[in-house]
Structure 1
């Protein structure tokens, strides 16, 4: 009903041309233009765009969680001037010949991203996070609106998140406030916050909505009174349930308290929720939040929030449509800008994208794509099913940063990529599918082979200096066998370059 009403409302607005009203914009093009225009008030002049191959690499990594194949790159480069928007529409909305694959990979990538938001590195977790990620994956695959996803979490429609946080009301209250509203309340559990206005009653007021949660999760079908989650005791004090930014305790009503909390948090006119949401999606796609401190959004000043609040309202007006928001950000000049190091970002006079670190899953999936690894369950050499994937992801996860721009890889992680089985097989002439495809192609010369390795692994062509140096290296080999081994050494160097684990 809401979807129909929204369509009718937007359709009427476009007919009568009401000023200041967000028009229907299913592909995000109008929102992208708005981001370009209003973003200049925050970031300065529109930035220089990155090259096409860099754009394709970051889009495939951000939307599908892997680098593009060489054939996908060649398809992309054969399109016309509007190739970037066409690629965005294909990957975000799941279109074209590979639509089913793109939809599956996109849901998987966004589920991983939001699982990390819900369970950031360092969180004490009970059990495996896989059930939570599976639930998120289904929600994204079904194109569930963002407010509905968060409502289901707040109402405990799926108990896995609550259980993984130890089945404690105070743990869940802290995470719900952080994820949905950008407020860190946990230090007010024992005392009022020393530096900001949050009080103990604010923390326990949210926790009170979950005072009965353990019983609800254990017996979800039991008949329970609607207002039972109305208060909670801590150190002899009784704290009534209440919303944040309000001193009044929750009044009794027919609607269950957690349902009321879910509706209040995700309401279209709650700027805290919508602005925090777009800030998190912006961080995922661009690398750094529109307001950089995404976990402490309540510290943003009115001036810092001015444009971001309007951005969030436009997200709410779209019915919290995730695909439209994603497409709009990707079509904006800010997403497509050239990237640089943190020093470049801080010193630049114009907007520069920050380099992002690929997640452990992105690293494996990119290896799988670049190296043409087998993916069949019945193939005993497939790393996805042989245990190699688990080992790689587990080891890389040990140094996963809190934000996309944190790079903290250590020696064990580097050694695994240098000497692990996946890399060893990749440079073995008998086992490497990529090397065999490159070396056995009858139409390739030496320059083509070097270029294809670069495109497959780093999604770019070698520079003139790189091409010249590698050509000299190959020509210095004594015979054909040595020259073939040298191609494996080139591939090893590309896989172990910092560039491979970064989204530039």
Structure 2
């Protein structure tokens, strides 16, 4: 029989839309498979203990498991109701049920979205670009919500081509986000998906690795040719209207809708498969300016002749990354997921692949790679297996890892919450379960100077499709005239001020909005708590920081915590006190709500004295102390 926690929470889940999205059934839907796979992993970890003659850690208590699992699986602490339900029941399989509940909740995809945004450097816009990456951001978010397989996700990004506003091809944002920097984009791709650090080889042979500059340019040939679709048809019109930029004429602004927000988001070419060596090329294996064909530097060899005129290089690269690099693609994906769940990679850094045979525990890595392949790169199912291991449930380990280059599997090390985990936990305390709120949708309206035009008549998806179908300069000019006339009749006109049209700036929430980090602008504004606590600026891969600074302390003492929690009688955390029959019960509930555990006897004595001395203000003081405590700010 289901416990009352999961009976009640299952009712909630039934009315919250959650697209598992997996087109193929997963073995992880079978509890027996989950248990068997988790045991296999634990067996290898146990073998490590025997080999190293280490004592096996104890399994952590329910309260620590509860908070850890919520933060790792869905990126926030439990609500007061979720915490009390779990802690007050006594069923042998309640931990398994909790994991099932969390992995089916919309909070999982929200948390994964934060991770992927950081990994791919997804931004709403970028300096110097007057368009928006809104459709690309939305595509990535939907991919996480539908649990798109990691190999399919990778393939879609690396082989992307076409209209940036078309939901089927919006993955082109992966390339258009780095337009003008194709070599940097390629280096990031190799780092993200294969754990190969090649950025040095853009300029010279890598002195710390095996990649030569010639190798890098042969690989870059696969993605060469990333111009916008048919943008040359508008070049003369755009140059003519550019003189109106200072006056912000309506003609100029309408042209910019087409130039930046349609052509600027499109991706032409399918990858030339050939590239010229740079004019400063300095090695004997090639001459400056020489045309060379595409060639892969390792794995199963893939080549395209420099005489090829058929393109198709990006698809060849995607096929090679996903299926022709031996264990490497699966190993990097598995190791990234291990770090997400366990706190530290089997090998570190996670973006520097190490062959399994060279690891301190090759048997475990082999098992993880096999599991990733068996699950068909279903990251949700893979993490579900890891969450069900005893290894995940070990007591925290305050000592640094004994293995410099990886995990020693000897209990989770203490880490400060990420900026996103902290924010999502604070809004949970302030307004209850944030996953019940609608998520940010695709804003496909046409904007001029931050104001929507032609609302209900035409949107960017339609405009983009129509513009990219034009086949001559005359057709482009005629379409521009027609669109300009429609805008003027609709009342749209140019205005003063900054006319950058990034959608995040149009629809962004202010710093007090009670929505999850995945719904906020990416990256967050510089005055936001997320920025103060180290959210990535999305300039470099995985650029987030957990380093402390004075701004964080001031923010907790004088900012959001005080305003939205401590001094806000309407905060959700105070609702848990409404039917409490005594001061002791109120104190207990505050501890469970904030730290997800009951107070010790000693803590209860301290807090009782505080309430006796300060009256109702004592409860606010307790909230302030608990939220700013290291226990709240750290994941055990």
TM-score, length of structure 2 as denominator length: 0.65
2:547 paired with 1:408: yes
In structure 1, what is the equivalent of residue 503 of structure 2?
none
Taking only aligned residues, the RMSD between alpha carbons, in angstroms, comes to 3.9
Could you tell which deviates more after superposition, 396-405 or 37-46? 396-405
Distance (whole Å) between structure 2 residues aligned to residue 172 and residue 385 of structure 1: 31
Q: Deviations over 1:30-56 (max 9, x none)?
A: 221111112334465653211111111
Q: Name the structure where helix makes up a greater proportion of residues.
A: 1
Q: In the alignment, which of 76, 95, 106 is matched to residue 84 of structure 1?
A: 95
How much does 1:233 deviate?
3.0
Aligned residues: 469
Q: In the alignment, which of 591, 612, 615 is matched to residue 483 of structure 1?
A: 615
How much does 1:207 deviate?
1.6
Distance (whole Å) between structure 2 residues aligned to residue 429 and residue 222 of structure 1: 49
Could you tell which deviates more after superposition, 281-290 or 466-475? 466-475
Q: In the alignment, which of 424, 440, 449 is matched to residue 563 of structure 2?
A: 424
* Structure 1, unpaired ranges of 5+: 11-21, 95-101
Q: Radius of gyration: which is bigger?
A: 2
Asked whether the 8 Å contact 1:126–1:163 carries over to 2, the reply is no
Could you tell which deviates more after superposition, 488-497 or 345-354? 345-354
How much does 1:499 deviate?
2.0
2:310 paired with 1:266: no
Distance (whole Å) between structure 2 residues aligned to residue 221 and residue 394 of structure 1: 30
Asked whether the 8 Å contact 2:113–2:144 carries over to 1, the reply is yes
Cα distance change of structure 1 residues 354 and 421 upon mapping to structure 2, 3 Å threshold = closer
2:604 paired with 1:435: no
Cα distance change of structure 1 residues 6 and 306 upon mapping to structure 2, 3 Å threshold = farther
In structure 2, what is the equivalent of residue 462 of structure 1?
599
* Structure 2, unpaired ranges of 5+: 1-21, 161-168, 232-262, 280-287, 439-508
Distance (whole Å) between structure 2 residues aligned to residue 222 and residue 4 of structure 1: 28
Matches within 5 A, 1:89-488: 89-92=100-103, 94=104, 102=105, 104-119=106-121, 132-156=136-160, 157=169, 158-215=171-228, 228-235=272-279, 236-237=288-289, 238-245=291-298, 250-251=303-304, 256-267=312-323, 270-298=326-354, 302-304=358-360, 306-307=362-363, 308-343=365-400, 351-372=410-431, 383-384=513-514, 391-397=528-534, 407-428=546-567, 430-435=569-574, 437-438=576-577, 440-441=578-579, 443-475=580-612, 477=613, 482-488=614-620
Distance (whole Å) between structure 2 residues aligned to residue 397 and residue 258 of structure 1: 34
Distance (whole Å) between structure 1 residues aligned to residue 134 and residue 553 of structure 2: 26
Cα distance change of structure 1 residues 53 and 212 upon mapping to structure 2, 3 Å threshold = same
Cα distance change of structure 1 residues 66 and 227 upon mapping to structure 2, 3 Å threshold = closer
Distance (whole Å) between structure 2 residues aligned to residue 269 and residue 201 of structure 1: 19
Distance (whole Å) between structure 2 residues aligned to residue 381 and residue 4 of structure 1: 38
Distance (whole Å) between structure 1 residues aligned to residue 605 and residue 320 of structure 2: 62
Cα distance change of structure 1 residues 346 and 471 upon mapping to structure 2, 3 Å threshold = farther
How much does 1:211 deviate?
0.8
Cα distance change of structure 1 residues 133 and 42 upon mapping to structure 2, 3 Å threshold = farther
In structure 1, what is the equivalent of residue 630 of structure 2?
498
Cα distance change of structure 1 residues 265 and 345 upon mapping to structure 2, 3 Å threshold = same
How much does 1:313 deviate?
2.6
Cα distance change of structure 1 residues 329 and 433 upon mapping to structure 2, 3 Å threshold = closer
Cα distance change of structure 1 residues 392 and 256 upon mapping to structure 2, 3 Å threshold = same
How much does 1:423 deviate?
2.3
Distance (whole Å) between structure 1 residues aligned to residue 376 and residue 409 of structure 2: 33
Could you tell which deviates more after superposition, 209-218 or 146-155? 209-218
Distance (whole Å) between structure 1 residues aligned to residue 173 and residue 361 of structure 2: 33
Asked whether the 8 Å contact 2:176–2:266 carries over to 1, the reply is no
In structure 2, what is the equivalent of residue 36 of structure 1?
42
Q: Deviations over 1:196-215 (max 9, x none)?
A: 21111222222211111234
Cα distance change of structure 1 residues 24 and 262 upon mapping to structure 2, 3 Å threshold = farther
In structure 2, what is the equivalent of residue 13 of structure 1?
none
Distance (whole Å) between structure 2 residues aligned to residue 129 and residue 422 of structure 1: 32
Distance (whole Å) between structure 1 residues aligned to residue 136 and residue 396 of structure 2: 33
Could you tell which deviates more after superposition, 150-159 or 387-396? 387-396
How much does 1:132 deviate?
4.8
